[in-house]
Structure 1
Amino acid sequence: MLNSVRSKQVIIITTMVVLVGFLFTRDVKGLIKPKEESKQMPAGQKTAVESNNTVSFSIEDASAIGRDFISSAIAKEILALESTYKNASGKAQLEQAKQLAQKWDDVEQAIPSAMYLEVVAKNEPVLTNWLAAGTRFLKGFDNTADSLVRPIMLQKANASFMEAMALDSTNTEAKTGLGVTIVNGMGAPMEGIMMLREVVEKDPKNLKANMNLGVFAIKSGQFDKAITRFKNIIETIKATPEAYFYLGTAYESLGKNTEAIDAYSTSKKLAASPTISNFIDKKVAELKNKR
């Protein structure tokens, strides 16, 4: 019975972790398309979600997803650039891919940006290009709540970091990224954990590795370890809103509601995001009712 309750608790916390990751990556520099501007996707154009075929996920699919979150004016500009890209070849097309990757990144749309960075990396297979593609694919993984697109982003991130590791097995950014993909499902979790621990041993203030070790501690129900990890991040590396939120999540999981409220409230102040503020306000109200 106790194991059943604990399993249910971990499932709930894992769901929250995914949701929080999604919330903290939704700021789109004021270019979110208002509801009244939303348009139907052109006839015959399918996303990976609609086709239910992850293998055939294409740049067109990624672009369609990205356009759903930007203004119609920016979307029109990007469509023109993508038309030029399709009609170009060789070096001209490669330069166009670089421009489109940057354009999508400027409007915080990691999924299409990553797809163009992958094109760049395949044509210019150097370490920096594979790291850029892998990092953006991981951001795309965090940015979407779509259950079909998420594994595509994770698989592509894994492949990109594998390419980076093949070029330089000592690179901490590549090892961290690869470890994160493994922890999230691209292999045995402990293999990924060991990679992240190796990074932290070599670079104790590596924010990404430490954050992911803390998140995994929450997902696996090791809340005391998570608290220690996030407090260390806040005190010695960087006091980020995400670190405070996950600290609050760990405290809440142990029934330490006063400490959880303090951590959540600090996260809200640092994030300064209406979406996150509303989410935290509801969370804090729930906890206050339990006291």
Structure 2
Amino acid sequence: MRKSQLLLIGAAVALLVVLYAFGRTVPKVDKKAMSTAAPMQGGQEVAPIAFSELLEAAKKRIPAEKLLQVNTIETNVVRGDVKTQQISAYRQLSNTWDSLNEAPVSAYYLGQAAKLENSEKSLTFAANLFLTHLQHAEDPAVAKWEANQANELFDAAIALNPENDTIKMSKAMVLMNSGEPMAGVGILREVVAKHPDNVDAQLTLANLAIQSGQYDKAIDRLEGVMKSHPDNAKVIFVLAEAYRNHGDKQRAIQLFEQSKQYMKDPELKKEVDSYIKSIQ
């Protein structure tokens, strides 16, 4: 499961999924379901910032010698009459801006290179950079622009490989983090309708059901998944959390205990033990 998906998960569920996804590190759980800069203000959708405005502001923050370097590479992009030259220049710009800690600008140029390369791998990589930045953006206008950039790149990647469910799920995360949750849910439902054995998509939908108080739906979904994945600790754990929220503490504890049987990390088991004690 990708890190972006964890933003949709409640605190207890994130305890297990974060540890499972990223190793033995006690997570600092972000209980907010969406980005702090979700592109809505007062019920009004925020217009995306123009890249020219973003670039101008970034240029004002960098040293003069770096600005000269950037302007020189930009000239190479305009003069480059061969696609490979343009790709190289865009990648140089991306690397330069990355070294200056200007992540959105760096991602933009990497995205431009990816569009010229038109490979599924490069398009997806650039899109995922925007998705990562989007989750931490403080300015709603920047978040909206990043969401648009990510969607464009993911769409291009999907066009190259319409059967790649992972890319579709990433696009769903963009939509959920940019004020279009139902559109994201729609994509996830399409994925599980076509591939019901996609555990990550099933888990994400179950997590959303838990967050929205639809515990019966989460339980029904995960009970079905458990039939074909009886030894998947994440599935068992999230199902336990659904039962806990539903008020069936006894069944929840039983499942939490069961989930530990399929965990190899002893420290992770201790985390689950602590959680069980907290709800007894």
- The TM-score with structure 1 as length reference comes to 0.53
Once residues 157 and 92 of structure 1 are traced to their aligned partners in structure 2, the CA distance between those partners, rounded to angstroms, is 21
Once residues 218 and 90 of structure 2 are traced to their aligned partners in structure 1, the CA distance between those partners, rounded to angstroms, is 43
Q: Secondary structure at the residue paired with 1:272?
A: coil
Q: Secondary structure at the residue paired with 2:166?
A: helix
CA 1:130/1:180 → structure 2, altered by over 3 Å: closer, same or farther?
Answer: same
| Counterpart code for 2:197 | K
The offset of 1:284, in angstroms, is 0.7
Once residues 137 and 257 of structure 2 are traced to their aligned partners in structure 1, the CA distance between those partners, rounded to angstroms, is 30
Structure 2 unaligned blocks of 5 or more:
1-8, 26-48, 56-69, 71-75, 77-84, 93-102
Q: Which has the larger radius of gyration?
A: 2
Q: Which has the higher contact order (CA 8 A, sep 6+)?
A: 2
Partner of 2:251: 259
Is 2:120 the partner of 1:124?
A: no
Identity of aligned residues (%): 29
Partner of 2:276: 284
Once residues 160 and 21 of structure 1 are traced to their aligned partners in structure 2, the CA distance between those partners, rounded to angstroms, is 27
Partner of 1:271: 263
Once residues 28 and 129 of structure 1 are traced to their aligned partners in structure 2, the CA distance between those partners, rounded to angstroms, is 30
Is 2:213 the partner of 1:217?
A: no
Partner of 2:20: 24
After superposition, where does 1:74-153 map in structure 2 within 5 Å?
A: 121-122=114-115, 124-134=117-127
- The TM-score with structure 2 as length reference comes to 0.55
Once residues 263 and 89 of structure 2 are traced to their aligned partners in structure 1, the CA distance between those partners, rounded to angstroms, is 38
C-alpha distance after superposition, 1:103-122 (max 9, x if no partner) = xxxxxxxx9xxx69868735
Task: Tell me which of 162, 165, 169 is aligned to 2:158.
Answer: 165
Q: Secondary structure at the residue paired with 1:271?
A: coil
CA contact (8 A) 1:249 1:260 kept: yes
CA contact (8 A) 2:24 2:268 kept: no
Once residues 18 and 260 of structure 1 are traced to their aligned partners in structure 2, the CA distance between those partners, rounded to angstroms, is 16
CA 1:124/1:271 → structure 2, altered by over 3 Å: closer, same or farther?
Answer: farther
Partner of 1:231: 223
| Counterpart code for 1:180 | M
Structure 1 unaligned blocks of 5 or more:
1-12, 30-54, 58-85, 97-110
CA 1:222/1:165 → structure 2, altered by over 3 Å: closer, same or farther?
Answer: same
How well do the aligned residues superpose, as a CA RMSD in angstroms? 4.6
Q: Secondary structure at the residue paired with 2:22?
A: coil
Count of matched residue pairs: 209
C-alpha distance after superposition, 1:119-178 (max 9, x if no partner) = 87355222243335556876x68xx9x7869x97x8475454233234455643332322
CA 1:204/1:181 → structure 2, altered by over 3 Å: closer, same or farther?
Answer: same
The offset of 1:203, in angstroms, is 1.7
C-alpha distance after superposition, 1:64-121 (max 9, x if no partner) = xxxxxxxxxxxxxxxxxxxxxx9xx96889999xxxxxxxxxxxxxx9xxx6986873
CA contact (8 A) 2:13 2:237 kept: no
CA 1:136/1:285 → structure 2, altered by over 3 Å: closer, same or farther?
Answer: farther
CA contact (8 A) 1:180 1:212 kept: no
After superposition, where does 1:167-182 map in structure 2 within 5 Å?
A: 167-168=160-161, 171-182=164-175
| Counterpart code for 1:14 | G
CA contact (8 A) 2:24 2:267 kept: no
Partner of 1:207: 199
Once residues 260 and 244 of structure 1 are traced to their aligned partners in structure 2, the CA distance between those partners, rounded to angstroms, is 9
The offset of 1:19, in angstroms, is 4.8
The offset of 1:234, in angstroms, is 2.2
CA 1:276/1:127 → structure 2, altered by over 3 Å: closer, same or farther?
Answer: same
Once residues 91 and 137 of structure 2 are traced to their aligned partners in structure 1, the CA distance between those partners, rounded to angstroms, is 32
Once residues 119 and 266 of structure 1 are traced to their aligned partners in structure 2, the CA distance between those partners, rounded to angstroms, is 48
Partner of 1:82: none
| Counterpart code for 1:24 | Y
Once residues 111 and 247 of structure 2 are traced to their aligned partners in structure 1, the CA distance between those partners, rounded to angstroms, is 44
